[in-house]
């Protein structure tokens, strides 16, 4: 517990420090949104030099329209006059401290309500009824139309002499609100420019007295760098409550020369500063003499009132069972309350478990309280599983208890959440927690069925069907084959896995059988093979479904080496066999290519083809390339019998051309790479 500014310890302390900062209204922060950004020195740039920018800056917390306020700040509207736009609006609103309106002529104010705006407009929008000069107007509910019902005060020139305010200077703005007389005044560079009487709370904000305040600005097709400068201690309360025994800071408006004189000086830390500490224990009225920013000698008055400390112990640690609710009522005993979750209600009905923390106020005195609510329910038992099961199987039951932390035990002392039973049995389970106790039970029964097998061949040869038969009696059981048939016996002709489910009235048993489709062996080998001496040729028909015999020797493949004569090949599998005879001729092999040294182009069909005379038993590769006398490649061919080179040479000028031939063939059992070259004369 603590009152006034005393802090408690433990977990609650850190949360309450955050609450304390939240309620320190003399030193607040601001939220910049959209294109707005902080630029230092308590100043914010609302818009820059880009088209259709939109920025807003809001005070972190709301102000109370039940109380007076007197705000002084500086606005700068940029340096562009004729083509500068659009201005700045001082806004009161209840939307949020992240609100952002529309850009352009709406000056960032257009688009959210309820709201009140004091418009400092630097652009003439004829459709809104704007005058030609820079002007000040008072508007409401997000509308900048001076001709509509949302206009509260017609626009007037920002300065008495209608000067341009887009002069790059910081202009002093003062906005005052007298809550008693419901009077709103607007001052521009120390000149009173607007004044209206209006019930803001009832007329604009629908009985809501807490409002956010700040600034909006925007650019459209024209732009300006528009800024707002203001202090964190900008709020100047006329009445300052103190919780007896605490210390507070008094605050007045900014002095022109920084000179202040407070009187009387009792209970003040310093009578010559803007914000002296006050530790009075009795009600007192203080006066501050200073020269304001407009050069006027003023005396501001602050009435210090004393609130009495108190102790609070409202919340009790409580257990809620089965949806019970816990009510806490603070209304009529406290002025306000703030819960660590952000709620501000004085009366709450709680249903959720958790650690609850709150602070309650009487005036400005407060005290903190915390309590723990635990919620639970009487255990509920859910048993899921198969109570009837077949032989060679087990009955599995899953136990689910809500809440999961409830204790439980089976009748046999077991504490597992999953149980497996392999015989007929009955067993119960009991669960309990702080909210109560409950129980449940299960009964399992084992059913027996005869063994099952599938009779019939497992091999289909050349598509001939086979018959599959379930071994159990069809007068007792029903049958469901994977083919969709329901007879005891089926005929199949396709390879695959076939299964049958046999059922009686309660249980079922399943069996499967793999059927393999086989063909009689077929393979291909050449009728004749030329085999060079010392050459190795591998014969492999690639059969995977049969066993091969080469001259009655079993092997998947055969290496021919120095073999001459007839080779007998036979393939055998479960569905049949196939045999072939291959004639193998053994020869001493060599490989040479001979080329002509001239061709003619006279069309007499003599010596017009440029190709080699082949003396090669086994030519394995061939590439011929033709070059001109400058070494440029004219053509390449891999075709021994091609006429392309002759045709190409026929197209060229008469003369001498070089050729290179790369070829390979079998000699002495090896594949030998060779190269030959020469020239060919193209003549008539």
* Chain mean position to CA 180: 52
| pLDDT value of residue 35 | 94
Phi, psi of 134 (to 5 degrees): -60, 135
| pLDDT value of residue 646 | 62
| pLDDT value of residue 644 | 67
Burial class (CB in 10 A: 0-12, 13-18, 19+), 293: middle
Whose structure tokens read 């309820």? 114
| pLDDT value of residue 264 | 95
DSSP string, 418-462: EEEE-S-EEEEEEEEETTEEEEEEEEEEEE------EES-SEEET
Give the separation between CA 558 and CA 552, rounded to whole angstroms.
Answer: 12
* Tokens found for residue 267: 């209970």
Give the separation between CA 525 and CA 567, rounded to whole angstroms.
Answer: 11
In this prediction the pTM is 0.53
pLDDT tens track for 567-589:
999 999 888 898 999 999 998 89
Burial letters 84-111, b for 16+ CB under 10 A, else e: bbbbbbbbbbbbebebbbbbbbbbbbbb
The mean per-residue pLDDT over the stretch 83-98 comes to 92
Give the separation between CA 167 and CA 121, rounded to whole angstroms.
Answer: 14
> What pairing do the DSSP bridges indicate for beta strands 326-329 and 489-492?
unpaired
E strand or H helix at 18: helix 11-22
Closest among 140, 148, 146 to 117, alpha carbons compared: 140
Phi, psi of 304 (to 5 degrees): -95, 125
pLDDT higher than 60, residue 27? no
The mean per-residue pLDDT over the stretch 623-635 comes to 89
What count of Cα atoms within 13 Å lies in the side-chain half-sphere of residue 161? 3
> What pairing do the DSSP bridges indicate for beta strands 297-307 and 239-243?
parallel
| pLDDT value of residue 498 | 93
| pLDDT value of residue 18 | 37
Whose structure tokens read 């030329």? 530
pLDDT higher than 80, residue 684? no
Give the separation between CA 189 and CA 338, rounded to whole angstroms.
Answer: 40
E strand or H helix at 294: none
Give the separation between CA 268 and CA 290, rounded to whole angstroms.
Answer: 17
The mean per-residue pLDDT over the stretch 107-128 comes to 92
Give the separation between CA 614 and CA 608, rounded to whole angstroms.
Answer: 17
Phi, psi of 105 (to 5 degrees): -65, -15
The mean per-residue pLDDT over the stretch 88-95 comes to 95
pLDDT higher than 50, residue 8? no
Confidence class of residue 649 from pLDDT cuts 50, 70 and 90? low
pLDDT higher than 80, residue 16? no
Confidence class of residue 420 from pLDDT cuts 50, 70 and 90? very high
* Tokens found for residue 424: 């007929």
In order of 317, 514, 541, the CA distances from 546 in angstroms are 84, 20, 11
Three-state secondary structure call for residue 547: strand
What count of Cα atoms within 13 Å lies in the side-chain half-sphere of residue 308? 4
Full 3-state SS string of 341-406: CCCCCCEEEECCCEEEEEEEEECCEEEEEEEEEEEECCCEEEEEECCEEECCCCEEEEEEEECCCC
pLDDT tens track for 274-283:
999 999 999 9
Closest among 125, 90, 89, 96 to 113, alpha carbons compared: 96
The mean per-residue pLDDT over the stretch 543-551 comes to 88
Whose structure tokens read 């005052």? 176
| pLDDT value of residue 390 | 82
CA-based end-to-end distance of the chain: 123
DSSP 253: P
Q: Contact, 282 vs 307, CB < 8 A? A: no
| pLDDT value of residue 20 | 36
| Length, in residues, of the chain | 684
Full 3-state SS string of 70-86: EEEEEEECCCCCCCCCC
Confidence class of residue 21 from pLDDT cuts 50, 70 and 90? very low
Percent helix, strand, coil in the chain, to 5, is: 5, 50, 45
Confidence class of residue 509 from pLDDT cuts 50, 70 and 90? confident
């Amino acid at each position: 517990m603590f009152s006034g500014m005393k802090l408690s310890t433990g977990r609650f302390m850190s949360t309450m420090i955050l609450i304390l900062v939240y309620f320190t209204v003399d030193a607040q922060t601001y939220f910049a949104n959209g294109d707005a950004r902080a630029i230092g020195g308590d100043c914010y740039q609302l818009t820059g030099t880009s088209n259709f920018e939109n920025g807003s800056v809001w005070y972190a917390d709301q102000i109370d329209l039940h109380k007076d306020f007197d705000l002084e700040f500086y606005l700068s509207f940029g340096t562009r006059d004729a083509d500068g736009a659009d201005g700045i609006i001082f806004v009161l609103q209840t939307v949020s401290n992240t609100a952002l309106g529309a850009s352009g002529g709406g000056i960032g104010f257009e688009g959210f309500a309820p709201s009140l705006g004091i418009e400092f407009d630097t652009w003439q929008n004829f459709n809104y009824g704007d005058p030609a000069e820079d002007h000040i107007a008072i508007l409401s509910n997000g509308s900048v139309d001076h001709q509509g019902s949302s206009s509260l005060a017609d626009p007037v020139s920002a300065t008495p002499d209608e000067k341009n305010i887009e002069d790059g200077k910081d202009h002093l703005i003062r906005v005052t609100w007298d809550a008693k007389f419901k009077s709103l005044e607007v001052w521009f560079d120390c000149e009173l420019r607007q004044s209206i009487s209006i019930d803001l709370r009832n007329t604009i904000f629908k009985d809501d007295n807490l409002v956010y305040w700040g600034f909006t600005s925007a650019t459209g097709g024209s732009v300006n760098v528009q800024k707002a400068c203001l202090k964190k201690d900008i709020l100047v309360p006329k009445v300052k409550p103190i919780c007896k025994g605490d210390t507070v800071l008094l605050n007045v408006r900014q002095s022109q020369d920084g000179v202040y004189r407070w009187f009387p000086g009792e209970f003040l830390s310093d009578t010559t500063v803007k914000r002296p500490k006050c530790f009075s224990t009795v009600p007192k009225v203080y006066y501050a003499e200073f020269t304001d920013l407009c050069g006027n000698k003023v005396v501001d008055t602050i009435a210090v009132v004393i609130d009495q400390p108190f102790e609070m112990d409202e919340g009790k640690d409580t257990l809620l069972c089965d949806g019970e609710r816990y009510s806490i009522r603070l209304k009529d005993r406290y002025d306000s309350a703030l819960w660590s979750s952000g709620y501000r209600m004085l009366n709450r009905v709680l249903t959720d478990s958790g650690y609850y923390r709150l602070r309650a106020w009487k005036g400005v005195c407060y005290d903190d309280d915390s309590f723990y609510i635990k919620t639970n329910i009487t255990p509920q038992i859910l048993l899921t599983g198969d109570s009837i099961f077949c032989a060679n199987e087990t009955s599995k039951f899953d136990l689910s208890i809500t809440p999961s932390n409830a204790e439980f035990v089976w009748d046999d002392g077991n504490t597992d959440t999953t149980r497996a039973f392999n015989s007929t049995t009955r067993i119960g389970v009991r669960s309990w927690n702080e909210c109560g106790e409950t129980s449940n039970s299960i009964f399992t029964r084992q059913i027996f069925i005869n063994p099952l097998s599938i009779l019939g061949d497992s091999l289909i040869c050349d598509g001939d069907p086979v018959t599959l038969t379930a071994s159990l009696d069809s007068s007792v059981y029903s049958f469901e084959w994977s083919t969709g048939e329901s007879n005891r016996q089926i005929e199949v002709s396709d390879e695959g896995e076939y299964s049958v489910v046999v059922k009686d009235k309660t249980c079922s048993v399943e069996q499967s059988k793999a059927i393999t489709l086989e063909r009689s062996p077929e393979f291909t080998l050449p009728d004749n093979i030329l085999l060079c001496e010392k050459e190795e040729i591998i014969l492999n028909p690639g059969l995977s479904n049969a066993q091969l015999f080469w001259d009655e020797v079993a092997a998947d493949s055969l290496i021919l080496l120095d073999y001459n004569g007839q080779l007998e090949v036979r393939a055998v599998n479960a569905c049949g066999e196939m045999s072939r005879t291959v004639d193998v001729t053994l020869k001493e092999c060599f490989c040479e290519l001979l080329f002509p040294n001239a061709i003619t182009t006279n069309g007499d069909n003599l010596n017009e083809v440029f190709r080699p005379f082949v003396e090669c038993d086994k030519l394995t590769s061939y590439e011929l390339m033709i070059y001109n006398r400058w070494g440029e490649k004219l053509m390449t061919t891999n075709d021994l019998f091609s006429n392309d080179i002759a045709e190409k040479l026929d197209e060229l000028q008469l003369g001498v051309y070089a050729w290179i031939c790369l070829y390979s063939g079998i000699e002495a059992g090896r594949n030998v790479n060779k190269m030959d070259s020469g020239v060919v004369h193209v003549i008539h």
